[in-house]
Amino acid sequence: MDNKKYGLGILGLGSRGVRFGGGAFVRSGHFTIECLCDVRQDKVDAAIDWLGDEGLLEHAVQGYTDIDAFLAHPGLDVVIVATPDFAHAECAVRVLKAKKHLYLEKPMAQTIADCDRIIEAWRGSDTVFMVGLELRYCTLMQDCKALIDAGEIGRIILGTVVDNVSVGGQYYFHGPRRRKDYIISLILEKGTHSLDLANWLIGDSPRKVYASGGLDVYGGDAPNDKRCRDCEIRFTCPDFIEADADGFEKPDYCAFARECDVSDNSLVLVDYANGARLSYMECHFTPEYTREFMFVGDKGKLEAFYDNEQNFKIKLWKRFEKEPQIFYPGQSAGGHGGGDTGILDEFYLSLQAGKPSMKGVRGARDSAAIAIAAARSEESGLPVEIPKVVYPEGVAL
């Protein structure tokens, strides 16, 4: 292995693509930004300005509004796709067909068929392909995985995962992500992180999903064009939001508008191919912002607690023992409990290995599939089957 720096291109120049793509990738020391692309020229110009002001450009970079010209840029090795979710599939397929290494922001795609289309495009591309589900690499989940793989609770039979989202109104109901026609559901937009962890820890793929949900706090009768900035109750409304002023757009439309139609709370039941069963709860108006995990096996039970402050905790019970063992996973530098840096390290090591790989993509497809099936189940009131996919040999969950 050498210490080669890889030429990086960012496709989709919102805050996530520029701040994480331009920030974390470059600061890792393994990448240099070569080119940028967005359908809007003003976003291209703003991204170049921001990256330059942050000292993240080693040289002048080329900006594009045409994806074909972007993918043909000399020196482009790796592409981050950070477009809106509806464009993930088409952009990912184009990148893989151009034989560029791909880091695709989650969720993988908005239909199961598109997830499988991306996987098919990877075959023969001779590339490294990962989806940005960084929580697998946080210290808490690494410790949970090690305990489960060591057989500490035996074969997992039941699981429960809870996403408490205190900032749901702040994050999702002020802009286009409050609409199903834009994001499908908040389970797909938000919950794929936790669902991916469940799939990974259970160690198998989902087969059937049933879901129920509702829009019970957000949405309402406000006009769709009403904005926080000139609202008559902006000084007292707990869901008031300031429009961003640092060069990145942050919509401030009223969270109680008529067009809001995504569920702000959902319950999901999942059956797995190996017989395990999972319940998942996502709520966007809880007091706290945490993730909670519980898995019961035939030899014991594991509980895990996650928050952004890294107050991580694991409880492990053995059957027929009254007192649990308590573990406190260590804190780690970087966001998501070290997950942000951990996934970048894994991506870079995969590039250095020089072999095509698709690490974690099976789990990314399965987590998106649960969310997509859950949205259909909420609409129909019926269980939804998840189709199987044939993966290339050696592709792990």
Over the stretch 95-108, which tens digit does the pLDDT of each residue have? 999 999 999 999 99
The CATH code of domain 136-339+367-385 reads 3.30.360.10
Helix (H) or strand (E) holding 293: strand 290-297
DSSP code for 159? E
Residue 334 has pLDDT above 80, yes or no: no
Residue 141 has pLDDT above 60, yes or no: yes
Give the mean pLDDT of 288-301: 98
Q: With contact defined as beta carbons under 8 Å apart, do 129 and 365 qualify?
A: no
pLDDT, position 322: 86
Give the mean pLDDT of 18-34: 91
Residue 247 has pLDDT above 90, yes or no: no
Torsion of CA 317, 160, 311, 203, to 10 degrees: 80
Over the stretch 262-274, which tens digit does the pLDDT of each residue have? 999 999 999 999 9
DSSP code for 334? S
Looking up tokens 């067909």 gives: 97
The CATH code of domain 6-133+351-356 reads 3.40.50.720
Give strand ranges (E) for 135-234: 156-164, 206-214
Over the stretch 339-372, which tens digit does the pLDDT of each residue have? 899 999 999 999 999 999 999 999 999 999 999 9
Report the range of poorest mean pLDDT among 154-168, 184-198, 311-325, 382-396.
Answer: 382-396
**Largest distance between two CA atoms of the chain:** 65
pLDDT, position 393: 65
DSSP code for 335? T
As a whole number of angstroms, the distance between CA 284 and CA 382 comes to: 24
As a whole number of angstroms, the distance between CA 61 and CA 397 comes to: 37
Residue 395 has pLDDT above 80, yes or no: no
Over the stretch 46-70, which tens digit does the pLDDT of each residue have? 999 999 999 999 999 999 999 999 9
Inter-residue long-range contacts of 335-338, CB under 8 Å, 24+ positions, other chains counted: 335/308, 336/134, 336/135, 336/137, 336/138, 336/308, 337/135, 337/138, 337/139, 337/140, 337/141, 337/306, 337/310, 337/312, 338/137, 338/138, 338/139
pLDDT, position 388: 87
Residue 396 has pLDDT above 90, yes or no: no
Give the mean pLDDT of 171-189: 97
As a whole number of angstroms, the distance between CA 327 and CA 367 comes to: 27
Closest CA to 363 of 115, 50, 157: 115
Query: What are the domain boundaries of the chain?
Result: 6-133+351-356, 136-339+367-385
Report the range of poorest mean pLDDT among 86-95, 115-124, 149-158, 388-397.
Answer: 388-397
Looking up tokens 């990086």 gives: 8
pLDDT, position 258: 98
Q: What is the average pLDDT value for the chain, to the nearest integer? A: 94
